[in-house]
Structure formats: C-alpha cells, structure tokens
Amino acid sequence: MFRLFAGLALPAGIAARINIMCSGIPGARWVEPENLHLTLRFIGEVDDSAAEDIDYALRQIADHPFDLKLEGLGTFGKHGKEHSLWIGVAPSPELAHLQAKIESAVVRSGQPAEERKFTPHVTIARMTRPDLTRLQHFIEGNGLFQAGPFRVEQFTLFESVPGNGGPVYTALEDYPLT
C-alpha cells in the first residue's frame, strides 16, 4: 500500500528561505525544508495496482510550464484551534488548470473525486493548541512574505511515509510539463 499525493516540490533556495523564517511559535511542528511542497491532489492509501493506474493516468497529462509566486500566510482551523500554518500562492490560472487536469486524470484512473475546493498552499507548520499571541506575531511579522516567481516545469507523485518527526515525503515519479 502507498499513501500518495500529487504535488509540486519547491526550489531548494525558496525552501531554505522559508526554513529561516520557521521559528518563534512554541509547540509548532515545523516542516523540514526538504518536505515543503504544494499539494495538487491528495490521493490517500492505494494498493500497487491502483498506484500503477494513477501513474499511467498522470503520464497522459500534457501541459505547459508556468511561473508561480508564493505570497502571504494563513492558517487552517477555527480561531483558537488553528492546526496548520501555511504560505499562500499568488492567483494562478495555470496552476488551477494543471490541478484540474490532475483531478480528472486521478478520477479516470479509478479514484473517487475530490469534493473539497482546491486551496493551494504550502504547509510550514502543524500545531496543537498554539500560543495565539506568538502565532499572531508570527503572522504579522511574516505576512508580507513573497517568493518567486519560479518556473514550474514538472509535477510529482509523492509517497507520504509516517515518521517519528512527522511524515516524510518521497518523490516516486516526476511528470514534465513541456
């Protein structure tokens, strides 16, 4: 069985810049720079045969490279129970287009459709009952964060493997955009 998702890896320089920012919230579990990514489609647990079908479907996607910019910060979770801190993405019709193609391909391969709206983001920390004052300071201090634009020339099928320090993401296959 594999726990899969399709996404974008970040350029190492941008991941390093994000990593420098990642401190100052007690209890936050910061994502290691090599694990920073943007999820395009969470797939979940599948067996070997389904993984092959997904890989085949993703290989059929034809799309163009495009530029993408990261900007801003946000959280998921109700006020007081924020559980996820993320960097946002500047509006990108090209990213939405690629995401829609990936969604169709994954469904064509036999997986159930994703019901939730696509909210592009790069999770930088996971939190349990964060110190709200420190979280607020972090967001105010880093809210103008921007990175890129950088060129997106491929997307990737990742495997998520649980580890002691949080999940580790391994790239299984890259799909070039040409």
Q: Taking CB under 6 A as the rule, does residue 35 contact ligand 2AM? A: no
Spatial separation of the C-alpha atoms in residues 105 and 57, rounded to whole Å: 5
Q: Which of 35, 39, 99, 109 binds ligand 2AM (CB under 6 A)?
A: 39
* C-alpha 113 chain-centroid distance: 18
123 lines the binding site for ligand 2AM (CB under 6 A): yes
**Which residue's entry shows tokens 């990936």?**
102
The minimum distance between CB 116 and ligand 2AM, in angstroms, equals: 7
Distance of closest approach, residue 33 Cβ to ligand 2AM, in angstroms: 15
Stretch 51-80: interaction string toward ligand 2AM, x if CB under 6 A: ------------------------------
> Is residue 84 within the footprint of ligand 2AM (CB under 6 A)?
yes
- In the region spanning residues 148 to 167, those forming contacts with ligand 2AM, defined by CB under 6 A, are 160, 167
* Rounded Cα distance, 38 and 72, in Å: 14
Smallest distance, Å, CB 163 to ligand 2AM? 12
My answer on whether omega of the bond before 149 falls inside 30° of 0, hence cis, is yes
CB nearer to ligand 2AM: pick between 27 and 64 = 27
Structure tokens that stand for 73 in this block: 């910060």
SS3 63: coil
Residue 120 CB partners (closer than 8 Å, separation 6+): 38, 40, 88, 89, 92, 95, 99
Q: Which residues bind ligand 2AM (CB under 6 A)?
A: 5, 39, 42, 84, 123, 160, 167
